[in-house]
Chains A and B, each alone.
Chain A
Amino acid sequence: MEEKDICTIKIDGKKISLAKGSTVLEGAKMLGIFIPTLCYHEALPPRGNCRLCIVEMSIVKRGRTYSWIDASCVYPVEDGLIVQTDTPKVRRERKLILELLLSRAPDSDVLNKLAVEYDADKNRFVSSDNGDSNCILCGLCVDVCNNLMHSSGIGTAFRGINKKVVSPFNITQEVCTGCLACISVCPTGAIKARFEGENLNIETWNVKLKMLKCHSCGKPFYPGVYVDMLKDKVTMAEELLKKCPECRRKVFRLSVK
């Protein structure tokens, strides 16, 4: 890498050199400095929705010092940038952001834990809780569904305080494969899904999918549509795909012997 492609910045007094295009959050992670995040996930590009990862930054340009607050997960490093991750101002504003998030999702465990650390007061603001979920609109589920799984099974509807993540037109739809990637990235456990007999029921998205029964043991294991999707994506014999992971492993173990 050429020198011009490297930026040296200071985070909480520690120097680090990073490739151009890296973010301040990535730098902090390398240095082992913890910055709280909610809408950040390694598998996806950063989005800057939750604003919890804010830090104080300053830089000297043409003899003048500029200071400001910004979200570290999306801020690209610049040579000479000085970052402070835990100043009184940062803590005060994170506390307020947590209070705002708690007004929407008062029961979220993650938020309540953070609230203790930042001394956030759950009752300063009027509730904007719509009652049925801990969704904080971080945007991860929509992103993973659309841009990693390429399913487009969910999206946002409405704007502002009424914004919601919903299945298209909030009705039962057929594009969801039941991969549950959304659940795995959700920071607040806001998406509800259950196995009900032979079905996978993702209530939050109005989806009910029939589970495929393992061709060997007969136990329902994955939604049928999910296995169909896998057929196109992985190079595995169809007969193997139709077995549950345990039975599949048995087959492999046999073949290794």
Chain B
Amino acid sequence: MKTKIVTKEDLDILNNEGIHHIFPDKIKLSIQMGTCGKASGAERIYHIIKNKINTDILLTSTGCIGLCEKEPMVNVFVPGYYPVVYCDLDEEALEELLPAWIQGELPEKNCLMQLNRTTFNTNGPILKVKENIPQMEEVSFFKLQKKIALQNSGIIDPFSVEEYTGRGGYYSLYHVLKDLAPEKVIEIITDSGLRGRGGGGFLTGRKWQSCRNAPGEPKYVICNADEGDPGAYMDRTVIEGDPFRILEGMAIGAYGIGSPEGYIYVRTEYPLAVETLHKAIREAREYGLLGEHIFGTDFSFDINIRRGGGAFICGESTALMASIEGKVGEPRVKHIHTVVSGFREKPTTLNNVETWANIPAIISMGSEEFKKIGTKGSTGTKVFSVVGKIMNNGLVEIPMGITVKEIIFDIGGGIPFGKKFKAVQTGGPSGGCIPEKLLDMPVDFDELKKAGSMMGSGGMIIMDEDTCMVDVARYFVSFLVQESCGKCTSCREGTYQLFNILNRITEGQGKEEDITLLEELSETIIDTSLCALGKTAPNPVLSTLKYFRDEYDAHIKEKKCPARVCKALIEYRIIPEKCTACGKCRKACPYNAIAGEKKVPHQIIKDKCVKCGICFEICPFDAITKV
């Protein structure tokens, strides 16, 4: 049984313990074990290390620091020095590194960077910097970043409330409960300009105020961790790396709004996140940081977890609430807002994981400091998952207002294999594609909207010159066809017809009037769909039509796919001058569609070829082309 944290002294003791955990007097190895780390083999690394060390060495886990491309990673702490992050680890690398670490050495091999005072500014002792090892702010991936929501992810042990407190956690809640009236809390959040990070960008403080003002008891707060966008994993990483931040944020919000009970709606496909939350809630309850009379005050608040079945639409506020109530996850019309009548028809505040994660930071730094980060209309930072055709796949947290170009080229390291950038899709499946000419656009809720895309929850998919934009539109629309709840005609039937038209264009069956039909359909779907899924579903079509109209025309009029992606419109050919008749392609072709003998240039038999592209990949002499 743990002693409940009641007084400031209790909290200080916990904080001290935490600092001691983060900077122990022994060597400590922290394996980055987020879902992304595990997928790269972090568990293996963990077990190898575990079997080779004795009790003099501490072994813990931590979340993801963002550079998923270079996982598995281990943070090595040697007393006296700031922790050093090692990357791209495998058994072989460990053979050399582990003995060195055990000796208290910090070799340069596989070394990514050293964390330093930028990361640990106010917490903990001042330690030594290791020469020859790049510092975090010297690594281009991290240089432009500003970490708030991801402040602790990949730094602390996510299961340790001590370490969270050691990083300043729970002081905000303490301050709020002891010194501030609920109205004042809402005032700070409103004044900070924080806008919801889950999609709409609604002012969080204003939402809380409406909920507080609405009649009806009890009020509820909900954390939206449904995260259904393809390619997005910001929320998962925050939960896996720093769960107490969300619990603290929700408790602060609940105090402001006047709510005794909260829910976290998290998708079942995130088993580690679910487990992490369960453990964190249990731990917080034991310390009295959730439950009755938190910090000995009159404020009581507890949190329940509800798991979603992975329907994208259940991220929409009204569908989410229906789902928690045990009903079919379908949206309802929102002419009466959920802040007035939401979960169980009571006033309900729903915020995204990242929104909640910002709350403790805003309280501790104050709204004035927070406003200094970002732009006037979009304050603070935003986490993006930068994926696709990009060197540094990963999670980045940037101050609002830096340009898309900086994210892709400076942080992301640009496009691999010397390919040309073509477009970036932001805002999830119903966002839009931004072309090269708009790359200097600052990342900001309003600017993205102006460009025909949106912030969404922060997915950023980078596409290179080998991407067909009609095919991209088709892909996103097909996702939405599958994920439409099917309640209303315009979205259910309309997106299906959008898909059919796009499909026939990519198959070379497009007609000239298809473009007008796409536009007409899009207008009606946007105007008449019931919820935001339908209302934004045509975005991928409209934005690609706007910026890449020539590709549509090429497909329809010339029956050509300029990026050579759409199978029906391409053909594989062997260039006889380059073919050495090595026979590799002939053997690899699963359809026996390649004919040829020794010393005679090979040929593709058109009728048999299904355009799988295996020969194209396998030819060592680049003798096969797509036309």
Residues of A at the B interface (CB closer than 8 Å) are 48-52, 54, 68-69, 71, 74-76, 92-93, 96-97, 100-101, 103-104, 124-126, 128, 136-137, 139, 155-156, 158-163
Contact between chains at A103 and B486 (CB < 8 Å): no
A-contact bits for B486-515, CB 8 A (1 contact / 0 none)? 111110111111001000000000000000
Query: What is the bound-complex CA distance between A76 and B497, given in angstroms?
Result: 31
Query: What is the bound-complex CA distance between A126 and B431, given in angstroms?
Result: 26
Contact between chains at B490 and A51 (CB < 8 Å): yes
Could you tell me the distance in whole angstroms from the C-beta of A220 to the nearest C-beta in chain B?
36
Pick from A71, A158, A159, A161: contact of B493, CB under 8 Å: A161
Query: What is the bound-complex CA distance between A126 and B528, given in angstroms?
Result: 20
Contact between chains at B492 and A160 (CB < 8 Å): yes
Pick from B488, B493, B517: contact of A128, CB under 8 Å: B493
**3 closest cross-chain pairs (CB), A and B:** A163-B486, A100-B493, A160-B484
Contact between chains at B527 and A161 (CB < 8 Å): no
Query: What is the bound-complex CA distance between A159 and B493, given in angstroms?
Result: 12
Pick from B335, B483, B488: contact of A49, CB under 8 Å: B488
Which chain B residue shows the least CB distance to A124? B517
Which chain B residue shows the least CB distance to A162? B486
B336 at the interface (CB under 8 A from A): yes
Query: What is the bound-complex CA distance between A49 and B496, given in angstroms?
Result: 16
Pick from B483, B497, B527, B530: contact of A159, CB under 8 Å: B483
Contact between chains at A96 and B524 (CB < 8 Å): yes
Contact between chains at B490 and A158 (CB < 8 Å): no
Query: In the complex, what residues of A have CB within 8 A of residue B523's CB?
Result: 93
Query: What is the bound-complex CA distance between A137 and B488, given in angstroms?
Result: 8
B363 at the interface (CB under 8 A from A): no
Whether A159 contacts B524 in the complex (CB less than 8 A), given A71-B530, A100-B494, comes out as no
Query: In the complex, what residues of A have CB within 8 A of residue B483's CB?
Result: 159-160
Contact between chains at B489 and A97 (CB < 8 Å): yes
Contact between chains at A97 and B490 (CB < 8 Å): yes
**Other A-B pairs, 9, CB within 8 Å; known A75-B335, A159-B313, A159-B484:** A48-B333, A48-B488, A48-B530, A49-B487, A68-B527, A104-B493, A156-B328, A163-B487, A163-B492
Could you tell me the distance in whole angstroms from the C-beta of A48 to the nearest C-beta in chain B?
5
Which chain B residue shows the least CB distance to A137? B486
Query: What is the bound-complex CA distance between A139 and B331, given in angstroms?
Result: 13
Query: In the complex, what residues of A have CB within 8 A of residue B481's CB?
Result: 160-161
Query: What is the bound-complex CA distance between A137 and B483, given in angstroms?
Result: 16
B485 at the interface (CB under 8 A from A): yes
Contact between chains at A100 and B490 (CB < 8 Å): yes
Q: Which of B317-334 contact A (CB under 8 A)?
A: 328, 333
Query: What is the bound-complex CA distance between A162 and B486, given in angstroms?
Result: 8
Contact between chains at B527 and A93 (CB < 8 Å): yes
Query: What is the bound-complex CA distance between A137 and B490, given in angstroms?
Result: 12
B131 at the interface (CB under 8 A from A): no
Query: What is the bound-complex CA distance between A92 and B494, given in angstroms?
Result: 14
Could you tell me the distance in whole angstroms from the C-beta of B519 to the nearest C-beta in chain A?
12
Query: In the complex, what residues of A have CB within 8 A of residue B527's CB?
Result: 54, 68-69, 93
Whether A51 contacts B530 in the complex (CB less than 8 A), given A75-B335, A156-B486, A159-B313, comes out as yes
Which chain B residue shows the least CB distance to A102? B493
B521 at the interface (CB under 8 A from A): yes
Which of B482, B489, B490, B517 has most chain A Cβ within 10 Å?
Answer: B489
Query: In the complex, what residues of A have CB within 8 A of residue B528's CB?
Result: 51, 54, 69, 71, 93, 97
Query: What is the bound-complex CA distance between A126 and B494, given in angstroms?
Result: 11
Whether A103 contacts B497 in the complex (CB less than 8 A), given A156-B328, A160-B482, comes out as yes
Query: What is the bound-complex CA distance between A156 and B495, given in angstroms?
Result: 20
B577 at the interface (CB under 8 A from A): no
Whether A96 contacts B520 in the complex (CB less than 8 A), given A54-B528, A125-B500, comes out as yes
Whether A101 contacts B493 in the complex (CB less than 8 A), given A51-B488, A158-B486, A159-B486, comes out as yes
Which chain B residue shows the least CB distance to A75? B335
Pick from B311, B484, B493, B495: contact of A103, CB under 8 Å: B493
Could you tell me the distance in whole angstroms from the C-beta of B396 to the nearest C-beta in chain A?
33
Inter-chain residue pair count (beta carbon < 8 A): 97
Query: In the complex, what residues of B have CB within 8 A of residue A124's CB?
Result: 517
Contact between chains at B486 and A161 (CB < 8 Å): yes
Contact between chains at A161 and B484 (CB < 8 Å): yes
Whether A93 contacts B524 in the complex (CB less than 8 A), given A103-B497, A124-B517, A125-B500, comes out as yes
Query: What is the bound-complex CA distance between A54 and B530, given in angstroms?
Result: 11
Could you tell me the distance in whole angstroms from the C-beta of A143 to the nearest C-beta in chain B?
12
Query: In the complex, what residues of B have CB within 8 A of residue A160's CB?
Result: 481-486, 492, 495-496
Which chain A residue shows the least CB distance to B523? A93
Query: What is the bound-complex CA distance between A156 and B492, given in angstroms?
Result: 14
21 A-B pairs with CB atoms under 8 Å apart are A48-B333, A48-B488, A48-B530, A51-B490, A54-B528, A71-B530, A74-B333, A76-B335, A96-B520, A96-B521, A97-B490, A101-B489, A125-B500, A128-B493, A136-B489, A137-B492, A139-B487, A159-B313, A159-B483, A159-B484, A160-B496
Query: What is the bound-complex CA distance between A177 and B146, given in angstroms?
Result: 63
Which chain A residue shows the least CB distance to B513? A124
Whether A161 contacts B487 in the complex (CB less than 8 A), given A76-B335, A97-B524, comes out as no
Which chain A residue shows the least CB distance to B520? A96
Query: What is the bound-complex CA distance between A68 and B489, given in angstroms?
Result: 18
Which chain B residue shows the least CB distance to A139? B487
Contact between chains at B489 and A100 (CB < 8 Å): yes
Which chain A residue shows the least CB distance to B521? A96
Query: What is the bound-complex CA distance between A125 and B495, given in angstroms?
Result: 12
Query: In the complex, what residues of A have CB within 8 A of residue B521's CB?
Result: 96
Which chain B residue shows the least CB distance to A164? B486
Which chain B residue shows the least CB distance to A73? B333
Q: Which of B54-112 contact A (CB under 8 A)?
A: none
Contact between chains at B490 and A159 (CB < 8 Å): no
Query: What is the bound-complex CA distance between A52 and B483, given in angstroms?
Result: 22
Query: What is the bound-complex CA distance between A101 and B492, given in angstroms?
Result: 10
Query: What is the bound-complex CA distance between A49 and B527, given in angstroms?
Result: 14
Query: In the complex, what residues of A have CB within 8 A of residue B494's CB?
Result: 100
Could you tell me the distance in whole angstroms from the C-beta of A198 to the nearest C-beta in chain B?
36
Query: What is the bound-complex CA distance between A249 and B481, given in angstroms?
Result: 54
Could you tell me the distance in whole angstroms from the C-beta of A139 to the nearest C-beta in chain B?
7
Query: What is the bound-complex CA distance between A163 and B530, given in angstroms?
Result: 16
Could you tell me the distance in whole angstroms from the C-beta of B394 to the nearest C-beta in chain A?
32
Could you tell me the distance in whole angstroms from the C-beta of B277 to the nearest C-beta in chain A?
26
Query: In the complex, what residues of B have CB within 8 A of residue A137's CB?
Result: 486-487, 489, 492
Could you tell me the distance in whole angstroms from the C-beta of A50 to the nearest C-beta in chain B?
6
Query: In the complex, what residues of A have CB within 8 A of residue B486's CB?
Result: 137, 156, 158-163
Query: What is the bound-complex CA distance between A93 and B311, given in angstroms?
Result: 29
Query: In the complex, what residues of A have CB within 8 A of residue B495's CB?
Result: 160
Could you tell me the distance in whole angstroms from the C-beta of A228 to the nearest C-beta in chain B?
28
Pick from A68, A74, A75, A100: contact of B497, CB under 8 Å: A100
Query: In the complex, what residues of A have CB within 8 A of residue B484's CB?
Result: 159-161
Query: In the complex, what residues of B have CB within 8 A of residue A156's CB?
Result: 328, 486
Query: In the complex, what residues of A have CB within 8 A of residue B493's CB?
Result: 100-101, 103-104, 125, 128, 161
Could you tell me the distance in whole angstroms from the C-beta of B230 to the nearest C-beta in chain A?
16
Query: In the complex, what residues of A have CB within 8 A of residue B500's CB?
Result: 125-126
